[in-house]
Structure 1
Amino acid sequence: MSSKPPSPTTQIPLPSSDFDPGPSPSSSSSSPPPSNTTTTTTTTTTAPNTDPDCPFCHIAATYPPYDPAQPPPPTSSLLSPDATFPQPATFIILSTPHLIAFLDIMPLSQGHVLLCPRSHRPKLTDVHPSEAAELGRYLRVLSAAVSKATGVADWNVVQNNGAAAAQVVPHMHFHVIPRPELRDKKSERFTSTMFGRGQRDELDEEEGVELAERIRRAVAEMVRGDGEGAKL
């Protein structure tokens, strides 16, 4: 990447997720969702610690926080700051003052979500205690929301630290990965899907918009229900 920071309203493609050992096939994407206004204003959120070359820091700076219990509609400028960008969109699932979650653009399965702190924390040990507490809370919420939105009852939560541990983006993040088909544990398919090898297709933008909206609604239900001890 260039050392020059990207424009806040210019989307950049994310690197392949931690589970992809090599290049992944690309597919043509559909047009990004239309804005509900004729002009769009982008609000930039600056985390206390950022890396101008980090794609996750760029996402955190582009998408401001909103109340998870009252998510904005898909056409809101909070979720679509620039409807003219040529690169794949970012599909926001959760955006708080300290955390941000979004769909993986090269998912292992439908509903594959990434959760990370807004501040640039290369590894789990770099995360502040308050951030770690919020990450733990929302891992539970996201797990329940993804399961409800996809109808898949089983999932993985995975987090890698360092290149030797298959971390590609040096910004600490969790993967929440639905697992709809892992029946034959002796098969090659089980091994390849468990560790992310094999063919992966780029997330279609129209599908991403609809899926992200379903998960956001499920997140809102979980957050509102947490006061009543809601469980998956």
Structure 2
Amino acid sequence: MTPPKPPSPPPPPVPVPNPSTFDPTSSATHDSTCPFCTISKTYPPYDPSSPPPPSSRSISPSLTSPNPCTFMLLSTPVVIAFLDIMPLSPGHLLLCPRSHRPKLTDVTPEESAELGRYVRVLSAAVSRATGIRDWNVVQNNGAAAAQVVPHCHFHVIPRPELRDKRAERFTSTMFGRGQRDELDDEEGEALAAEIRRAVGEVLKEDEDKSEEEKRAKL
């Protein structure tokens, strides 16, 4: 009889550097002309299961001023996520590696694993925060494939039902058509805080589920 396989070890905890000593040049590589690298260099990592409060300076939207405000949703040593400043729908977000990687084929195996993990977590979190149950995950590579910023990134784009009043504002922009409006600062700050909170909830539930599965195998 084949003995049962031992349970898989839980993922290692995310290291949380001290924001006051954060050195964005220590491991990540950046392109000085890339707007996503600017965000990466500006915002230190934090523990996504216990995000800082909205009042924390470490996630202040104005840190990227005079460039457009940045509404952070996730910041680990490997990946970052933030709201799109020209959203196709409420909660439209971008997830990318902290280091400058022009295309998906340029990311490292570690970055690829982290991106895959958080595409799922952010999808669940934005759905909770907005109440929108359907969404697209889009990832473009190169100008011919409609990639505008040459820094690998995933779009998570909620798709409200047509009967949802929020859909009226975005009906003409479904799948990229029509005029896109810039994200309102007050709306963005409130929504970002709600998504960060939901990210923490999803990660806590994942941890609890992992513990339950380990106990069930004992």
Q: Partners of 2:172 and 2:63 in 1: how far apart? A: 36
Map of 2:9 onto structure 1 = none
Residue 54 of structure 2 corresponds to residue 74 of structure 1: yes
Cα shift readout 1:101-137 (whole Å, capped 9, x = no counterpart): 0000000000000000000010000011111011111
Q: Give the match for residue 124 of structure 2.
A: 144
Q: Which has the larger radius of gyration?
A: 2
Q: 1:79 to 1:53 in 2, by over 3 A?
A: same
Q: Structure 2 stretches of 5 or more lacking a match?
A: 1-19, 164-169, 211-218
What is the TM-score with the length of structure 2 in the denominator?
0.78
Give the Å deviation of 1:44.
4.8
- Is the aligned partner of 1:131 residue 2:111? yes
- How many angstroms apart in 1 are the aligned matches of 2:63 and 2:31? 25
Is the deviation greater in 79-88 or in 162-171? Answer: 79-88
1:42·1:77 contact (CA, 8 Å) conserved in 2?
A: no
Name the SS of the counterpart of 1:115 in structure 2: strand
Let me know the Cα RMSD of the aligned residues.
Answer: 2.3
1:124–1:215 Cα change, 3 Å: same
The letter of the residue matching 1:116 is C
Q: In the TM superposition, what are the counterparts of 1:1-232 in structure 2 within 5 Å?
A: 43-46=22-25, 47-80=27-60, 85-181=65-161, 193-229=173-209
Percentage of identical aligned residues: 72
Query: Residue 118 of structure 2 aligns to a residue in which SS?
Result: helix
CA distance 1:42–1:180, change in 2 (3 Å): farther
Compared with structure 1, are the counterparts of its residues 62 and 83 closer, same or farther at alpha carbon in structure 2 (3 Å cutoff)? closer
Q: Runs of at least 4 residues of structure 1 off by over 4 A?
A: 41-44, 81-84
Q: Distance in 2 between matches of 1:81 and 1:61?
A: 14
| Distance of 1:202 and 1:222 partners within structure 2 | 28
Task: Give the drift of 1:83.
Answer: 6.1
Contact 1:69 1:221 (8 Å CA) reproduced: yes
Q: 1:91 corresponds to which letter in structure 2?
A: F
Cα distance in structure 2, aligned partners of 1:147 and 1:55? 26
Tell me the SS of whatever aligns to 2:176: coil
Conserved in 1, the CA contact under 8 Å of 2:78 and 2:111? yes
Structure with the larger helix share: 2
Tell me, what secondary structure is at the counterpart of 1:195? helix
Report if aligned partners of 1:161, 1:172 keep a CA contact under 8 Å in 2.
yes
| Higher mean displacement: 174-183 or 152-161 | 174-183
Q: 2:94 touches 2:153 (CA, 8 Å); kept in 1? A: yes
Taking structure 1 as the reference length, the TM-score comes to 0.74
Report the count of equivalent residues.
185
Which ranges of structure 1 fall in alignment gaps of 5 or more residues? 1-40, 184-189
**Higher RCO (CA 8 Å, separation ≥ 6 residues):** 1
Change (3 A) 1:180 1:111: same
Partner SS, residue 106 of structure 1: coil
Task: Work out the CA distance in 2 between the residues paired with 1:52 and 1:229.
Answer: 42
Q: Cα–Cα, structure 1 residues 191 and 213, in superposed 2: closer, same or farther, change >3 Å?
A: closer
Cα displacement (A) at 1:158: 0.3
- Give the C-alpha shift of residue 192 in structure 1: 5.3
